[in-house]
Homo-oligomer: A and B are copies of this chain.
Amino acid sequence: MIPYNAPIQDIRFTLNHVVDLPAVAALPGYEAASPDLVDAVLEEAGKLARDVLAPINWQGDQEGAVLDNGVVRTPTGFKEAYRAYAEGGWNSVPFDPEHGGQGLPWTLAMPIQEMWNAANMSFALCPMLNQGAVELLTEHGSEEQKRLYLEKMISGEWTGTMNLTEPQAGSDVGAVRSRAVPAGDGTYRITGQKIFITYGEHDFTSNIIHMVLARTPDAPPGVKGISLFIVPKFLVNPDGSPGARNDLRCAGLEHKLGIHASPTAVMAFGDNGGATGFLIGEENRGIEYMFTMMNNARLGVGVQGVGIAERAYQQARDYAKTRVQSRALTGRDPGPVAIINHPDVRRMLLTAKSQIEAARALSYLTASAFDRAKRHPDAEERRRAKALNDLLTPITKAWCTDLGVESASLGVQVHGGMGFIEETGAAQHLRDARIAPIYEGTNGIQANDLVFRKVARDGGETALRLLAEIRDTAAAAKDRPGDDMAVIGGNLADAAAALEQATSWVVETAKSDPAAVAAGAVPYLRMSGIVIGGWLSAKAAIAAQALMAAPGEDRRFLDGKLITTRFYADQILPQVHGLLKPIVEGHRAVMALDAEQF
């Protein structure tokens, strides 16, 4: 199995020169994120990812999680890896110091999450879901709830889960039917079945704290009648000691295409009269509370896409360096060469690499907008940062997870026939990556969110402000010396013009013809991802070129950055010119066919 090495040099470059982590670290409350600490955190996280999480990834896929008489057994080594992860303090990185968190910026938490996901996506899902539960409790839990649950969920002693989906309530969470009946003592009796519950049951920890959406008896229909409950696997006594087993159980594990080591549970609540649930906040506000953690959850899934794309790329790259096959197309050597010398193999690798670096920057930028929205001393800056985070979140979720699949599929192809053999490991990445465009809101849902709520609702203000920045960067690139920079700046400016045209159309059309805008939403999101990725790549190239003359810099790395951006400008940015018609004209045919004509 080809090992995983966290791309720390690229991560550090992106943090420092593309998304300006130093500025984030200067915000009040983030002072702990000094350059030395950042370096140490990245190095240590990289070691855990490489030495502990990555080596059990393939075997975990083969073994899978197993349900045996109500008990879930995770694959060999996973429990021990979780212990190492929790004991290392990794679970607490971005959380509130008041409850034991380290209070580090999300801008730093994201690169670490990228490493966990690259090393072992099935493993990383457990902390990812816990994170959502922690955020919910931090924002909306009572003091008593925080005291009882939060510290242990932050330390990693317990994990949290999210119980939203039911068979009839997938994308349409308003269709939830699980019931919550007041028990008369302030608690509720929860009954119902939840599906697709990630780490709904496992053997990592002594307790599992479920966040469950359910309806109270007189709740209004739809999303406005859903409440949110804490439903612990074991009830917790007021002194924090474990109490009785709650009335809930894992009724089954799904048999999935990928992420086999991650137990995806069917959860049955209330077989024996009702599980004891504790209301969070007020009744009927459950969906509203969910939204407070949704941006970060979606960003987290986007980062999964970056992580799995990187892992698949490393696997393909290292194979391409060692697999010898056929002579080179140019040169006189009649002997066979490593396939990394063949142009089309290079093209495939660079297609992955150039987009991964852009997607990495995008995901960190989205995190930095979250940090600024939370911590910036100036209210207008906070508002703008929040709007930017809102705009970038669906793009990050969808574009980065599509890239995860693309990179994993390219990775299989680079291997040739060996890519199709499971023992090689490349196929697992493709199987694992394929879930990310689906869960946490399908990429189609993300695209609808983008066009209607993030672009049209404010009349395009946030999107157009970002486009102005992009044009500035394109102009700055054109002012730099060299052909590569001229192409990078020129192609970025052309692509931004196409996005501006599409954005204006979305803003103008969203109210008058929402079906037309919805039909073009996915290509619009894709265009946005490509252009914003191109912008961040251009920023990286500009910084790399500027640094190249400085003493002590790694010129080989910086030169590679420039060439990689040139590749992106040549091969990825021009795709936007094939997307404008689908966005603005695609709906005619899309809406014309009868269901029976499909």
- A427 CB within 8 Å of chain B: yes
Contact pick for A325, options B172, B409, B416, B521, CB 8 Å: B172
User: Are B563 and A344 touching (Cβ within 8 A)?
Assistant: no
Contact pick for A582, options B172, B427, B570, CB 8 Å: B570
Contact A582-B591, Cβ < 8 Å, known A317-B598, A340-B598? no
Chain B residue with Cβ nearest A347: B590
Contact pick for A571, options B172, B255, B586, CB 8 Å: B586
- A560 CB within 8 Å of chain B: yes
Contact pick for A409, options B256, B434, B518, CB 8 Å: B434
User: Are A344 and B255 touching (Cβ within 8 A)?
Assistant: no
> A559 to B598, alpha carbons, bound, how many Å?
11
- A187 CB within 8 Å of chain B: no
Q: How many copies does the complex hold?
A: 2
Contact A347-B175, Cβ < 8 Å, known A417-B170, A518-B342, A596-B556? no
A447: chain B residues at CB < 8 Å are: 344
A438: chain B residues at CB < 8 Å are: 412-413, 416-417, 419-420
- A28 CB within 8 Å of chain B: no
User: Are B581 and A574 touching (Cβ within 8 A)?
Assistant: yes
Chain B residue with Cβ nearest A514: B329
Contact pick for A595, options B321, B421, B596, CB 8 Å: B321
User: Are A556 and B165 touching (Cβ within 8 A)?
Assistant: no
Question: B-facing mask of A439-453, CB < 8 A → 1, else 0?
Answer: 100111001100000
Contact A566-B588, Cβ < 8 Å, known A321-B595, A521-B344, A598-B317? yes
A491: chain B residues at CB < 8 Å are: 581
> A439 to B418, alpha carbons, bound, how many Å?
11
User: Are A413 and B431 touching (Cβ within 8 A)?
Assistant: no
User: Are B420 and A591 touching (Cβ within 8 A)?
Assistant: no
Q: Min CB distance, A433 to chain B, in Å?
A: 11
- A254 CB within 8 Å of chain B: yes
Q: Min CB distance, A442 to chain B, in Å?
A: 6
> A422 to B593, alpha carbons, bound, how many Å?
30
User: Are A330 and B515 touching (Cβ within 8 A)?
Assistant: yes
A422: chain B residues at CB < 8 Å are: 255-257
A564: chain B residues at CB < 8 Å are: 589, 593
User: Are B518 and A329 touching (Cβ within 8 A)?
Assistant: yes
> A579 to B574, alpha carbons, bound, how many Å?
7
A123: chain B residues at CB < 8 Å are: none
Taking CB atoms and an 8 Å cut-off, the chain A residues in 470-527 that contact chain B are 487, 491, 514-516, 518-519, 521-523
User: Are B423 and A255 touching (Cβ within 8 A)?
Assistant: yes
Contact pick for A343, options B170, B195, B591, B595, CB 8 Å: B591
With a 10 A CB-CB cut-off, give which of A254, A412, A417, A581 has the most chain B CB atoms.
A417
Q: Min CB distance, A97 to chain B, in Å?
A: 36
Contact A409-B417, Cβ < 8 Å, known A515-B329, A556-B596? no
- A6 CB within 8 Å of chain B: no
A518: chain B residues at CB < 8 Å are: 329, 342-344
> A585 to B427, alpha carbons, bound, how many Å?
31
Main SS at interface, chain A: helix
A172: chain B residues at CB < 8 Å are: 325-326, 336
Q: How large is the interface on A (under 10, 10 to 19, 20 to 34, 35 or more residues)?
A: 35 or more
User: Are A515 and B585 touching (Cβ within 8 A)?
Assistant: no
Chain B residue with Cβ nearest A421: B254
Chain B residue with Cβ nearest A487: B585
A521: chain B residues at CB < 8 Å are: 343-344
- A147 CB within 8 Å of chain B: no
Contact A413-B443, Cβ < 8 Å, known A175-B336, A421-B256? yes
A326: chain B residues at CB < 8 Å are: 171-172
> A578 to B576, alpha carbons, bound, how many Å?
7
A52: chain B residues at CB < 8 Å are: none
13 other A-B residue contacts (CB within 8 Å) besides A350-B590, A567-B589, A567-B590: A175-B336, A254-B421, A256-B421, A330-B514, A340-B595, A343-B590, A346-B519, A557-B597, A559-B597, A560-B594, A570-B581, A574-B578, A574-B580
Q: Which residues of A contact B (CB under 8 A)?
A: 165, 168, 170-172, 175, 195-196, 254-258, 317, 320-321, 324-326, 329-330, 336, 338, 340-350, 353, 405, 409, 412-413, 416-417, 419-423, 427, 430-431, 434-435, 437-439, 442-444, 447-448, 487, 491, 514-516, 518-519, 521-523, 556-557, 559-560, 563-564, 566-567, 570-571, 574-582, 585-598
13 A–B pairs (Cβ distance < 8 Å), ordered by A: A256-B421, A343-B516, A347-B522, A348-B444, A350-B590, A417-B439, A556-B594, A556-B596, A564-B593, A566-B592, A570-B582, A574-B577, A578-B579
